[in-house]
Amino acid sequence: MKCLVLAAGYATRLYPLTENFPKPLLDIKGKTILDWLLDDIDSSGLVDEYIVVSNHRFIGFFEDWAAKCRFKVSVVDDGTSSNETRLGAVKDIQFAIDSLGLDDDLLVIAGDNVLDFSLCGFMRYALEKGSSCIMRYYEADGKRLHKCGVVELGEDDLVLSMEEKPACPKSHWCCPPFYYYTREDSARVKDGIAAGCGTDAPGSYIAWLSSVVPVHAMEMPGRRFDVGNLEGYRKICEEYEGIVNRV
């Protein structure tokens, strides 16, 4: 399979730290956020190529990083230069598919996430299910549900519905930005866009896809740390202990 990393955002909440530098390449305990993610994913032995989608402003940083990377990495420039002109995650996914002619199963991840668990278990889960899959975690805070993608579940982890930033959440299950698309469902991204699915949040495609084909949701086995602001970043730099729960 291929791993598609979404890294074309502008991380405005972390300004001035990320005003002229990409968030996924910020350092945490001697490694970039992106290296923490890819080192883990590569240990699965299931990925043969990594694709990083960058905006035009930060493309040079990612090309320099990729030149030193021990993995096979392709860096794609989506051509945008500001937060106001960004394509949005779903259109970035389709842009990468079109640019590189991708025709494979895809692990799609946001490149700015810090985790204390391995994503390898999620990849194995998806292969066992034989369907496109997402992850889910329980969010007890009702106010936070309005800012997340919320999933309604049926039996055997089946996604009955998903909605980004719902006014009336149907559950307390939220979806972090980690997705597995089968080869067939990777080819359907363009259909989702044409059907009017949202394109800013990556979960918007899953919201549409789950109404068309079976999608399953694995419960997240650990913690995802928020690097949303400067205080959060400083705290993670002090407290992060790496991937300690390798499921």
114-123 as b/e: b if 16+ CB within 10 A? bbbbbbbbbb
Over range 109-113, report the average pLDDT: 93
Over range 124-146, report the average pLDDT: 95
Over range 2-17, report the average pLDDT: 93
Give the model confidence (pLDDT) of 210-230 as tens digits.
Answer: 999 999 999 999 999 878 889
Residue 126: closest CA among 155, 112, 105:
105
Q: What is the percent of the chain where pLDDT is above 90?
A: 82
Candidate from 54-63, 84-93, 132-141, 220-229 with smallest mean pLDDT: 220-229
Give the model confidence (pLDDT) of 142-194 as tens digits.
Answer: 888 998 889 999 999 999 999 988 899 999 999 999 999 999 999 999 999 99
* Phi and psi based region of residue 196 (left: phi greater than 0; alpha: psi -120 to 50; beta: remaining): left
Over 60: is that where the pLDDT of 247 sits?
no
Over range 67-95, report the average pLDDT: 93
Summary mean pLDDT of the chain: 94
Give the model confidence (pLDDT) of 33-64 as tens digits.
Answer: 999 999 999 999 999 999 999 999 999 999 99
* Phi and psi based region of residue 246 (left: phi greater than 0; alpha: psi -120 to 50; beta: remaining): beta
**pLDDT score recorded for residue 246:** 54
Architecture of domain 2-239: Alpha-Beta Complex (3.90)
pTM: 0.94
Other beta carbons less than 10 A from residue 132's beta carbon: 26
Q: Which residues, at least 6 apart from 57, have a Cβ–Cβ distance to it below 8 Å?
A: 10, 80, 81, 82
Burial class (CB in 10 A: 0-12, 13-18, 19+), 12: exposed
Give the model confidence (pLDDT) of 185-208 as tens digits.
Answer: 999 999 999 999 988 889 999 999
**pLDDT score recorded for residue 9:** 92
Q: What is the percent of the chain where pLDDT is above 70?
A: 99
